[in-house]
Amino acid sequence: MWFMRQAGRSLPEYRRVRADVPMLEACARPDMIVEITMQPVRRYDVDAAIYFSDIVVPLKAIGLDLDIKPGVGPVVAEPIRDAEGVKRLRDLDPGDVPYVTEAVGELVGELGDRPLIGFAGGPFTLASYLIEGGPSKNHEHTKALMYGAPDLWADLMRRLSAITLEFLKVQIAAGASAVQLFDSWVGALSAEDYRASVLPHTSWIFEELGRFDVPRIHFGVGTGELLSLLSEAGADVVGVDWRVPLDKAAQRVQPATALQGNLDPATLFAPWEAVAERTRDVLSRGRAAEGHIFNLGHGVLPTTDPDVLTRLTEFVHQETAR
């Protein structure tokens, strides 16, 4: 078990380290990457570390003018909505992200037998930030380009997929034991639109990653209707948010696909008896899957009590050891 966003704002030690350091600077400093990645491992004794980064890090590395604004998220100075904008997306070179290689190498040494999970954003979510200029509720500009300029959309997705793949390959080459592709906003699409406009590109990423001997995890939010397609893309593990019970999700994914999830992050604010009851239910339903990695159904919420996560980790380990 591990927690998405386990290294983040819910930890007081994280807030101290990040007090005066902008997010993208923290993601480019090996010392901070190592420290923040290790913080939840030390505190919770989870079974895996997740590489501390942000999905826009490789876009910043290739020279795009963007920033992460506190309380807002990624903001792009010049949104990409035409062919000239798409041409600005050059390939990522390992030399663009030397801090990734250095940090992963140090982490692998510190973690020993405990795996480090590499991390990257999915192409649809990256496209949405670039096209919208920042977070979006309706993704109207993104869908307008996808529907109205399919050739331009395909070019954009090919470029983003290549950047994402290279970012993950750098982490694998440095020693990451597994990788997760986090396509946060892909749940905004219908199954038909996902199949036509996203699946070919995500499938290509996972096919290329198949050349390496590392498990591949795929996750998106609000993807209950897309689980079959997310699985079809080729990942070994499909993350499930809290909206779909794991026994139902197991019926939607491809054979031999493990599941990851899926306790509602808001559950952690309830009395412990409710947390324990709902955790047992997740573990019980997870037995229907080919394999199960316990996790939350999305990231740890910023105001979560870290002590509850420590207790939850101990509880899951005790329950699954029986």
Just list the catalytic residues. Answer: 5, 9, 18, 54, 129
Q: H or E element: which one contains 114?
A: none
70-91 burial by CB neighbour count: b if 16+ within 10 A, else e?
eeeebbbeeebbeeebbeebee
- Write the DSSP string, 208-220: HHTTSSS-EEEE-
SS3 of 42-95: HHHCCCCEECCCCCCHHHHHCCCCEEEECCCEEEECCCCCCHHHHCCCCCCCHH
List CB contacts of 184: < 8 A, sequence separation 6 or more.
55, 121, 122, 125, 220, 221
Pairing of strands 258-263, 292-296: parallel
Q: How far is residue 76's CA from residue 271's CA, in Å, rounded to a whole number?
A: 41
Taking CA atoms, 37 is separated from 51, 67, 102, in Å, by: 6, 21, 13
Q: How far apart are the first and last CA of the chain?
A: 16
The first and second tokens of residue 22, run together, are 């902008």
